Structures are given as C-alpha cells and as structure tokens.
Chain A
Amino acid sequence: MTGELLSVGLDLGTSTTQMVLSRLKLENRASPWAVPKVDITEKEVIYRSPVHFTPLLSDTRIDAAAVRALVEAEYQKAGVSRDSLQTGAVIITGETARKENARQVLEALAGLAGDFVVATAGPDLESLLAARGAGVDKLSRERHGAVLHFDVGGGTSNLALYDRGKLVDTGCLDVGGRLVKVDALTHKITYVMEKLRGLFPGVAVGETATREVLTPVCQAMTEALLEAAGLRPPGRWLKHFITHKTVDLTVKPNYFTFSGGVADCVWSPGEDDFAYGDMGVLLGRVIRRGFEEAGAALLPTEETIRATVVGAGSHATELSGSTIFYRDVDFPIKNLPVLRLDCPVERLEEELERALPMYADEGGQNPVCLALRGPENPSYQEVRALARAIRAGLSPLVEAGEVTVVAVENDMAKALGQCLYPLLPHGKLLCVDAVHAAQGSYIDLLAPACGGTVLPVVVKTLAFEKGG
C-alpha cells in the first residue's frame, strides 16, 4: 500500500517570492498482518523556482497581476498543471502580509494554485514552516538538544525553538535585511521602515548609506536577536523589535541556526555591502560576529533562503491516522474552524450546546470541526457514549444537513465513526484521528489517499507536533 502526493509551496515574502514542488511518498509502515499505519516516508523537492523579487506596485501594495503571471510561468517551467497539484500551502509572509491588498493577492492565487491548495499566513505557522524547511526539527532530534532557529528574511525574523525534535515555542521580531533599502548604484537610502526612523543618525530616505551609517542599525537588531536567544539579558532592543511575541525560553538552547535570505550573508557575506540593494549583507556579518562573540554554537542548515517555501511545500501537509471513517463526504473540506473541547464525555453535549452558537451568523449555523483528545485505549462503551454525546451536542448542525466532522487525537476514529454513523439521519460523516488541532485554528481535509486509508490534513495553526 503506497501512494504519492504532489505538493506546491509558494512563499510571498517581503523581498522575495519563491515556489517549490515537492513529492510526498506515502507508505504503509505496519506489517501486512497488523492494522495499517500509513506515514509520509519521503519528502523530495522536485522543482525549485529561482528567487524572484516580490513584485510591488508601491511600498504598500503588491502587484497581484505580476505575482499571478510569475506563478503561471513557473508552473509552465516545472511542467505541471494546477489540476495535478493535490496539496500544499501558499503563504504570504513577513511584512508583505501587512500590505494593503494582501488578502486580494491571496484570493487571486488560491484559485490559480489548484483546488486543493490552502492559502494561509500568520507568524506562528510561518516560523514553524521555516524551521521545518531548514531541517531544524531533525537537527534537534539527532543532536538530542534544544535548537533556536532564526529565519531572518527581508522584513521579519521568525523564531522557533525546538527541543529534541519537538516544537516548544515560536516568536517573531521586526528584524530583516530589507527594512532599509539602498540604491545599488548611488547608495542612496530609498526606504526606511517606521520602527527605524529617527533613531539612527544618517538613516533616512535620501541620505547616502555607508557601512558606518548602517552598522548601528545592524548592531541594534543583532542585540535584539541575542536577547531573544537568552545570550544577553532582555533589554531595550528586544522590546523595540518584537512583532507580537518572542519565544519563551523554557528550555535553554544548545545550538543556534539561521535561514532566510540573510542567513546566506551570515555564512558568506561577499564583497559588495549593497549587492542586494539593502542592508542584508551588513546585517548577516554583524549577526555572525555578535553570536560568535557571545560564545554561541552555530550550526548550518539544509536550506537557507528557501527554508520557508520548502516548509510550505513539504511540511505543511500531515496525515491522519490510518483507521478512519468517512461516508457521503464531498472532498476537499477547506477552512473549517476548529471547535476544541476536552471536557469529560458527560459534559460534552452541554459544552457543545454552549459553544456552537459562536459559529452561527444570520445565515444560520456554520459547520465546525469538533476536535478532542478522546480516551486512550477506550472500551466500546466509552466510544458509544462519546458518539451519543457528539450526536446530541451537534444536533443543530446535523439537522441543518451539514457534514459532521470530528478529529480525535487518540486512535479510535473508525470505531467512533461506526458508532456515530447510524445515529445520523442523513449520513455525511467524517471521523479522523492522530490529528491535533487547537481551538481557534482552521483545518483543511483533503481527498483520501493511499487506497482510501488516510486523509492528508493541513492544520493552520501553531500545532503541537505529534510525538516522535
């Protein structure tokens, strides 16, 4: 029992736009005489686009038409049609997400990127994808230690802390190579990000950039990274550059890694300080010196500038458990809000009744995905009681003819589905397990793969990862 998924990753960043195509191999890893267990056994990037500058109409508007044309051209070069893409993620990252028309661009792209592709953004998910794309989860597992990863891009730095293969926390700082832009020929400063204005002498639009003028900016940013890494006590610069939150250092990092465009400049900055028309080269150099002086152990990563896009292409899609239940479901189900309840089964019906109206509007009750942990090694009676409580609690949805979607963590989805199905007047039921979805996240459930045994799932949230 094997299968394959063709997945696309598209990263629309502050400074660069990139695309990758990945082939995900699915394989049953259980012995033929046991219950199947399908896993993604191989993730191979089969096409990498060149690194394009993100087309902008102005400092605050993305050129949606140009982005569209760019993606179409890349599909052609890769020799794929959008219909052949089964999963993946389009993400608008960094400062670009704050542009005025980010939403329209996403919408224009979502259509182009094939029916199955999810469009998503958000700094937590971005940090996670960049770290996974750089191979940091693997690195920390192999070294049995804690790794703090910085994806230093054009507009933001995404932080992710991994401990022995598991994600601990994420954060985001306004530290990036393109927060000051410089004309490559005249070295005149053409753009300064708001947070930097008026703080550093000579750093203003129209002034001439030199190493001496920009080094204090790079030092302040590096100081913020060092403070976030716990290598310096938290101070003024960390506070100044925080986007929404930094990582909570509940474990002390043993190693530090870098990806993103600036990471290339950390390792090999080159001769020309303004080769890319920004301060990335200088920033890379200052970061390296700062971390080395602080005695930090730096490790190289599998990917640098392409980490986020490889993360989106190869690591956004997870698989459900291999014993699941679905009947009369139209796939894919996209952007379903997750309602998470981890109360005892006796209170589930009542809690569902209380929570469901939050997902209703003038149009009536909107569908949700009910997420719960579920008992470990349940008895049949427990499964049946759970099925009854879910049926009763989800009555408004069931009676509106909506599909019932339940995502449990513990291995019991097929049994739960078989118990629940007869209780529904119209069928339309989907039960998956081995999926962790937190309250407030959204979930995409794609068409079954590998002989119908598993569902590819994309949880759009900061998800805790499955063990191991």
Chain B
Amino acid sequence: MNETELKQMVEQMVRDLAGRGELHAAPKGEVHHPDPAQTQSPGSSGGCHSDITEVDLRKQYLVESPANGPAFLDLKARTPARIGLGRAGARYKTDTMLRFRADHAAAQDSVFSLVAEDYPAKHGYFPVQTLCETKDEYLTRPDKGRRFDEANQAILKQRLPQGAKVVLAVGDGLSSAAIEANAADCIDAIRAGLKGYGIEAPEVPFVKFCRVGAGDHIGQITDCQLICLLVGERPGLVTAESMSAYITYMPRLGVPESKRTVVSNIHKGGTNAVEAGAHIAQLIRDILDKKASGVDLVRS
C-alpha cells in the first residue's frame, strides 16, 4: 500500500466516523489543524465547548446500561481515581481522554506559570527571589532554589528581626496555583492561632523560585528558632492546588530533611487552608515546647 492509498483510506475512515463531508488533506509535511467550528463534539452548543474540567469526576459515571449505576457512584464518591468510564471499542471515550489531557495540562501550567506579580503586595508580603533567574533554571537547578544572593539576603536581614521565635514564609514551589488558592487564608489562620498562644510572627517574605531548603537560608540569615514555609506541591492529576507546610526547628544551612515536620494536602479537597492553619499553629507551639521537629518530634 503506498502513501496515497493510505491517506485516502484514513480520510475515508475519518469521514465515516465524523459523518461529515470532505476533509481537506493537509499539505505535505504540515500538521493538520482542524477548524474548531467543524469539529464540535455533539455535547457542545452555541459554538462554544462546555468546560470539561468543571465536571466533578467523582459524580461522573459513563458506563452505558450498568447493572447498578448508583452503587458504582457510591464507590466513586470515595476515590478521585478515573474509574467507571465506559469505553469505545478498546479505548477511552473522547470526554475521558480530553479530561485527562486537560488535567495534565493544568498540572503542567501550574508548574510553569508564575504567581501573579502583584500577589505579594496584595497580601502585605515582601518579595524576595532565590538565585534562580528563570523558571527553567528553577526546574533544572534545585540547588539554586535554596539560596539567596547578597541583595536578597540584605532584604531579608532588613525586613525580618534577628532571633525571632517564629518566621512564617510563603514560596511558590512547584505550584503557583496552590499558593494563590491557599496561602493567604492559611497564613491568617496560623497568625491568629499563634496569637492565642502568645506568639507573634513578623512580616511574611514571599519567595520566588522557592525550594523547601530556602527556609534554611532564611533561618541562617535571621537566626530564628523556627520557620514555617508554605510551598506549592508538585501538582498531580487530582488537583493542581495542593499546598504543604514545612516546619523546621532551628533551620540552618545543612539541616537534614529528617528534621522537618510537614503538613501536606492543604487544598479544598483535602484539609482546607483555614483549618490546616489552625492545626499548624498548634503544631508550631508543640515544636517550640519540645524544641524538636521532624523525626525528633515524633520520638520526643
């Protein structure tokens, strides 16, 4: 079978499937971009696709003529896994495939996009930046995401007091969406909770291109007893908005990872930001009381 025959055959098949008129073969060597107006899925209306990411996957069950659909939905309510999707031949249905790709794209976008320029100012945080200059550098050079240059060190030194009991900080990490969705509410709740325990926290630095280890450098610079750093987690297909809090007692350069206490899964499908903040405030008090975080805290 030569190339022309193959092309004709594919064209015929596509035409049959789409039930539409003639397709124009793409010029040689070029990718064929279908005209969106001609490839509307049957579910869309008024020339506008509905946003498939709006659908709650736990409530979507696509198997046709199931033995007991409501029972399957009961099971689906307990997991974000993509199950009960039905099939077209041996493959996913179009909606499922598109949703998977959309969620994957959202996860990637969240890694590659930046927290809005005016975000720190809006919440009264002061901006600093690690040694990374670009997102690409941030992703390829984790070591640079843990240190500040002299100019940024000077800002931290100037804005934060020396020897504070607690420093709260926010860093973009691997998900800008997580920070924009959760950090401010969480910081407010932590601050209020700490106040109840008689602990005041100074101004909050917002760290651009931030890795968890950046907190150690802040500790080194400010000689604080404890740092609580809110960082965006590496996004997954379930949510791109998950944030973690890394709490380190006596944060200094070279502190081992085992000395960190982490509270993960802070997002609206996990623990909500405000309640997580309240929990973190108590955790901070316990860590200060026991003078230990991470594995040491569990052992104490």
Contact = CB atoms under 8 A, between A and B. Distances in A.
Given A380-B189, A383-B189, A421-B196, A35 B281 contact: no
Interface stretch (A298-306, A399-407, A409-417): A409-417
Of listed B71, B185, B195, B263, residue having the most chain A CB within 10 A:
B185
A411 B272 contact: yes
Nearest to A327: B196
Contact of B272 (A34, A144, A377, A418): A377
A41 to B, nearest CB: 16
B271 interface: yes
Contact of B264 (A33, A415, A467): A33
A418 B264 contact: no
Contact of A415 (B189, B263, B268): B189
Contacts of A413: 275
A417 B277 CA distance: 12
B163 interface: no
Interface string A375-388: 01111100110000
B262 interface: yes
A304 to B, nearest CB: 27
Given A418-B196, A418-B281, A422-B195, A380 B70 contact: no
A34 B74 contact: no
A164 interface: yes
Contacts of A379: 185, 274
B196 A34 contact: no
Contacts of A144: 68, 70-71, 74
A276 B283 CA distance: 60
A165 B75 CA distance: 12
Contact of B263 (A35, A417, A468): A35
Contacts of B277: 380, 415
Task: Please classify how large the interface on chain A is, using the bins under 10, 10 to 19, 20 to 34, 35 or more.
Answer: 20 to 34
At the interface, is chain A mostly helix, strand, loop or mixed?
Answer: loop
Interface in A411-455: 411-415, 417-419, 421-422
A32 interface: yes
Given A380-B185, A468-B78, A414 B265 contact: no
Interface in B161-212: 184-185, 188-189, 192-193, 195-196
A168 to B, nearest CB: 14
Interface string A114-147: 0000000000000000000000000001001000
Nearest to A321: B275
Contact of B189 (A33, A418, A421, A467): A418
A323 interface: yes
Given A144-B71, A418-B189, A412 B272 contact: yes
A32 B298 contact: yes
Nearest to A144: B71
A413 B282 CA distance: 13
Interface in B253-284: 262-265, 268, 270-279, 281-282
A411 B275 contact: yes
B278 A414 contact: yes
Nearest to A164: B74
A323 B275 contact: yes
Contacts of A34: 263-265, 270-271
A418 B196 CA distance: 7
Contacts of A415: 189, 192-193, 274-275, 277-278
Given A164-B71, A164-B74, A33 B275 contact: no
A164 B71 CA distance: 8
Contact of B271 (A411, A418, A422, A468): A411
Contacts of B271: 34-35, 323, 411
Contacts of B270: 34
B278 A323 contact: yes
A388 to B, nearest CB: 13
A385 to B, nearest CB: 12
Contact of A35 (B71, B78, B192, B276): B276
B70 A419 contact: no
A10 B185 CA distance: 47
Interface in B126-185: 184-185
Contacts of B189: 380, 383, 415, 418
A167 to B, nearest CB: 15
A374 to B, nearest CB: 11
Contacts of A417: 278
Nearest to B74: A164
A32 B298 CA distance: 10
Nearest to B281: A418
Given A378-B272, A412-B272, A418 B278 contact: yes
Interface in B215-266: 262-265
A389 to B, nearest CB: 16
Interface in A200-251: none
Contacts of B74: 141, 144, 164-165
B282 A419 contact: no
Interface in A33-62: 33-35
A377 B268 contact: yes
A192 to B, nearest CB: 46
A412 B276 CA distance: 9
Nearest to B298: A32
A383 B274 contact: yes
A413 B279 CA distance: 10
Interface of A: 31-35, 141, 144, 164-165, 323, 325, 376-380, 383-384, 411-415, 417-419, 421-422, 467-468
Given A380-B188, A415-B277, 10 more contacts: A34-B263, A34-B265, A35-B276, A377-B268, A378-B274, A384-B192, A414-B275, A414-B278, A421-B196, A422-B196
Ranked 8 nearest A-B pairs via Cβ: A144-B71, A414-B278, A380-B188, A415-B278, A35-B271, A418-B193, A377-B268, A415-B274
Interface of B: 68, 70-71, 74, 77-78, 184-185, 188-189, 192-193, 195-196, 262-265, 268, 270-279, 281-282, 298
21 contacts: A31-B264, A34-B263, A34-B264, A35-B265, A141-B74, A164-B70, A323-B271, A323-B278, A323-B279, A378-B272, A379-B185, A380-B188, A380-B192, A384-B192, A411-B271, A411-B272, A412-B275, A418-B196, A467-B77, A468-B77, A468-B78
